[in-house]
Amino acid sequence: MDDAELFLGLGLLAIAAINSGALLYALHKINPPSAKQGSEDEEEEENESSEEADEADEESEAETSAPTEFKRPTTKAGILAWRQRIIEDLEKERGTRVLTMIHKKELWTEPGQDSEIGIEDTETILQKMRKIPPDTPVDFIIHTPGGYALAAEMMAMAIKFHPSKVTVMVPFYAMSGGSLMTLAAGEIRMEKYSVLGPVDPQIPTPDGMYPAGSIATLVKTKPIQNITDRMVIMSDVANLEIENAKAFVMWLLEGKMDKEQAERVADFLARGYMSHATPITLDVARAIGLNVVEGIPDKVYELFKTFTFTGQPYRRH
Amino acid sequence: MQELDILLAVAIVVVASLSSLTNLFVIRRFWQIPQTPNPATRGGDQENEEGNEEDEDETEGETDQAPSKEAILARRAQLVHELEEERGSRVLTLIHRKEPWSTGDDEPEIGFEDSEQILQWVRETPPDKPIDFIVHTEGGLTFAADLISMALRYHKAKVTVMVPFYAMSDGTYVVLAADEIMMEKCSILAPLEPLIDDMPANSVISILKRKPIETISDRTILLAESARMEEENAKEFVKWLLIDHMNEEQATQVANFLVGGFMASTTPITLDVARAIGLNVVEGVPEKVHQLFETIEFTGGPRGEKQYQ
């Protein structure tokens, strides 16, 4: 009798244990851990190792282990989470919202796919800009070889229209269309060695891409009857494009300097006096009257570590 | 004997608490399943919550489990339906964008498929029902765009065209057909100068004055002639689109401004410019439209012809 009762008690206990174990296992199967909301702390620790680089949930844990033995995430989701964490830190540090337009090779970039400013960037940035409260300052990290002019112009407009201060950070380079966007900023942060570039339009012709300034001078250097019809027509287009670029730069600089100076800067950057790859360094940018501050926060460099620095080089500009 | 009783009681208590804990846990877990971001079962309210989240979070989620084409389309249909309820109108869209399922060289632009579809939609809309037309395009076939704008112009009730981002080149015709234009501060329209053999009409015409005629090739002279006709045609069409909303003189001026080739084809016509030339522009696009665009993936290869490089 005594033994029986003891057995009964132990039996019940065992059944309950097995039961809950089985249920837990079944749940684990049904509902993969990535979908969980982070409410069960114990569970989380158990699963941590299996899905290290999965979701934003694990960010906090990864952070604590980062300084000692940090493992570079190798999945897209992992890299994006890592990047997101750095951006959030930077936002906290500076009390701003951080936007990025970084055109670099990613692990998931397909071969031959050059990243440059496209209308997709514009749509993304405009959508993000819309959600930023008007009184929140914005830090915009730009790293780009340039690209589609209209797309860059739209983003520059968004920067100019933001009611609070917009700081554009150029840790390495922001050429052509990217430079146009920096001109819209209230403050430009650069390093001694980072560069901007001229913003003169490039005109596509059947023989390739030519700077608008060069096409415009062609008709002055060669008798017009000896120039091909297409080039004569394109020279007209080139003049219009230069006018447009200059007017746009002047509009961007409105309120940042007096009109006369803005016109000189616009002429300097958009007329095509210099090669499209000419570096406009910090000193030059400062000399022409842009509001440049030297120095980039360390977190930005940390952000760049999330990108691979290998892969095919970009084509020459 | 008493000890055993106590043991048994303790065991039962333990069992009871264990199983209740398990139950609690199970219930909590099951509770959460419908709330996980599973796109196939997404409801309207949850999407609203998500819409408030950071974009980065959304993209992260997408990488893990990309929503299926059906789920995306269903979500869009739902948003369009909600917008229709909200505004009491018929919502039509002309959105050209790379989709996750579009193949490599697909460059969506205005074509006859669009015009046929939209003409049918407009025809099915009762004459007294206002139309909200969402445009997002880089242009395409002028003739198809003309057809769409004619259909909108002839619609009896109010036509509102919404431009959340851009309506370039021929997309701008469609915008001009509207009774009211809704734009964001950063949205842009574009000049309407026709392109002849990829060259702006006015520049082609101007060669006749700039180069001695005997040195111009026959082909270019013919192109210049067709450029003149195209430009005239475009001007008349713009004038006709606008004539209900402004007097003839102003309509002529606007047509000249947009078609005449006074500016580069990439000059952005912003909200302020559109308003200054007398178009009926309202700032701001309904929130639902922006939500609609959140269902569209903004990635894909670069595109566009003119580049700063």
What is the ipTM, given to two decimal places?
0.73
> Any chain B CB within 8 A of the CB of A54?
yes
Nearest chain B CA: its distance from A23 CA (Å) = 8
B61 lies in some domain: no
Residue B287 clears pLDDT 80, i.e. is over it: yes
Query: Is residue A105 located within the same domain as residue A234?
Result: no
> Any chain B CB within 8 A of the CB of A244?
yes
> Any chain A CB within 8 A of the CB of B103?
no
Query: Is residue A144 located within the same domain as residue A289?
Result: yes
Nearest chain A CA: its distance from B217 CA (Å) = 7
pLDDT of residue A51: 42
Taking CB atoms and an 8 Å limit, are A240 and B264 in contact across chains?
yes
Q: Give me the number of domains chain A comprises.
A: 2
Name the residue with higher pLDDT: B67 or B120: B120
Taking CB atoms and an 8 Å limit, are A12 and B185 in contact across chains?
no
Query: Is residue B170 located within the same domain as residue B289?
Result: yes
Query: Is residue A128 located within the same domain as residue A159?
Result: yes
CATH code assigned at A107: 3.90.226.10
Where does the pLDDT of residue B25 fall: very low under 50, low under 70, confident under 90, or very high at 90 and above? confident
Task: State the residue range of the domain holding A230.
Answer: 201-275
pLDDT per residue as tens, chain A (317 positions):
567 777 777 777 778 788 777 777 777 766 655 444 444 444 444 444 444 434 444 444 444 444 455 677 878 888 889 999 999 999 999 999 999 999 987 777 776 666 889 888 898 899 999 999 999 999 999 999 999 889 999 999 999 999 999 999 999 999 999 999 999 999 999 999 999 999 999 998 888 889 999 999 999 999 999 999 999 999 999 999 999 999 999 999 999 999 999 999 999 999 999 999 999 999 999 999 999 999 999 999 999 988 866 544 444 43
Average pLDDT over residues B53-80: 65
pLDDT of residue B307: 34
Query: Is residue A250 located within the same domain as residue A287?
Result: no
Secondary structure in 3-state letters for chain A: CHHHHHHHHHHHHHHHHHHHHHHHHHHHHHCCHHHCCCCCHHHHHHHHHHHCCCCHHHHHHHHHHCCCCCCCCCCHHHHHHHHHHHHHHHHHHHCCEEEEEECCCCCCCCCCCCCCECHHHHHHHHHHHHHCCCCCCEEEEEEECCEEHHHHHHHHHHHHHCCCCEEEEECCEECCHHHHHHHCCCEEEECCCCEECCCCCEEEECCEEEEHHHHHHHHHHCCHHHCCHHHHHHHHHHHHHHHHHHHHHHHHHECCECHHHHHHHHHHHHCCCCCCCCCECHHHHHHCCCCEEECCCHHHHHHHHCCCCCCCCCCCC
Query: Is residue A177 located within the same domain as residue A226?
Result: no
Average pLDDT over residues B33-42: 43
A7 lies in some domain: no
Taking CB atoms and an 8 Å limit, are B304 and A147 in contact across chains?
yes
Query: Is residue A252 located within the same domain as residue A157?
Result: no
Least-confidence region, from A39-53, B77-91, B166-180: A39-53
Query: Is residue B292 located within the same domain as residue B230?
Result: no
pLDDT of residue B105: 62
A12 lies in some domain: no
Do residues A101 and A128 lie in contact, with contact meaning Cβ atoms separated by under 8 Å? no
Query: Is residue B177 located within the same domain as residue B292?
Result: yes
Residue B21 clears pLDDT 90, i.e. is over it: no
Taking CB atoms and an 8 Å limit, are B186 and A158 in contact across chains?
yes
pLDDT of residue B9: 79
> Any chain B CB within 8 A of the CB of A18?
no
Query: Is residue A228 located within the same domain as residue A297?
Result: no
Query: Is residue B234 located within the same domain as residue B118?
Result: no
A255 lies in some domain: yes
Distances (CA, A) of B224 to B13, B203, B218: 96, 9, 10
Query: Is residue A233 located within the same domain as residue A302?
Result: no
> Any chain B CB within 8 A of the CB of A2?
yes
pLDDT of residue A69: 57
B21 lies in some domain: no
Query: Is residue B97 located within the same domain as residue B119?
Result: yes
Question: What's the rounded Cα separation, in Å, for the pair B275 and B280?
Answer: 7
Where does the pLDDT of residue B252 fall: very low under 50, low under 70, confident under 90, or very high at 90 and above? very high
Query: Is residue B114 located within the same domain as residue B250?
Result: no
Query: Is residue B162 located within the same domain as residue B285?
Result: yes
Name the residue with higher pLDDT: A46 or B67: B67
Query: Is residue A164 located within the same domain as residue A250?
Result: no
Query: Is residue B100 located within the same domain as residue B210?
Result: no
- B32 three-class SS: helix
Query: Is residue A157 located within the same domain as residue A98?
Result: yes
Query: Is residue B180 located within the same domain as residue B210?
Result: no
Instruction: Supply the DSSP symbol for B269.
Output: B
B252 lies in some domain: yes
Query: Is residue A189 located within the same domain as residue A285?
Result: yes
pLDDT of residue B297: 62
Average pLDDT over residues B128-134: 95
Name the residue with higher pLDDT: B80 or A317: B80
Do residues A90 and A141 lie in contact, with contact meaning Cβ atoms separated by under 8 Å? no
pLDDT of residue A19: 77
Task: State the residue range of the domain holding B243.
Answer: 191-264
Where does the pLDDT of residue B45 fall: very low under 50, low under 70, confident under 90, or very high at 90 and above? very low
A142 lies in some domain: yes
Residue B38 clears pLDDT 70, i.e. is over it: no
B27 lies in some domain: no
pLDDT of residue A307: 83
A129 lies in some domain: yes
A35 lies in some domain: no
Query: Is residue B213 located within the same domain as residue B247?
Result: yes
In the block, tokens 């969506």 appear at B108
B74 lies in some domain: yes
B304 lies in some domain: no
Could you report the per-residue pLDDT of A219-275, keeping only the tens digit for each? 999 999 999 999 999 999 999 999 999 999 999 999 999 999 999 999 999 999 999
Chain A contacts in chain B segment 1-20 (CB below 8 A)? 1, 4-5, 7-8, 10-12, 14-15, 18-19
Here the tokens at position A166 are 């917009």
CATH code assigned at B147: 3.90.226
B280 lies in some domain: yes
Query: Is residue A190 located within the same domain as residue A258?
Result: no
Tell me which of B52, B225, B265, B308 to substitute to probe the interface with A (most A C-beta atoms closer than 10 Å).
B308
Where does the pLDDT of residue B5 fall: very low under 50, low under 70, confident under 90, or very high at 90 and above? confident
Taking CB atoms and an 8 Å limit, are B55 and A27 in contact across chains?
no
Q: Percentage of chain B with pLDDT > 70?
A: 82
Chain A contacts in chain B segment 213-252 (CB below 8 A)? 215-217, 219-220
Chain A residue numbers touching B204 (CB-CB < 8 A)? 233
Taking CB atoms and an 8 Å limit, are A119 and B304 in contact across chains?
yes
Residue B60 clears pLDDT 70, i.e. is over it: no
pLDDT of residue B225: 96
Query: Is residue B273 located within the same domain as residue B146?
Result: yes
A155 lies in some domain: yes
Taking CB atoms and an 8 Å limit, are B210 and A152 in contact across chains?
no
A139 lies in some domain: yes
B99 lies in some domain: yes
pTM for the whole structure: 0.75
Q: Give me the number of domains chain B comprises.
A: 2
Query: Is residue B83 located within the same domain as residue B202?
Result: no
Nearest chain A CA: its distance from B96 CA (Å) = 12
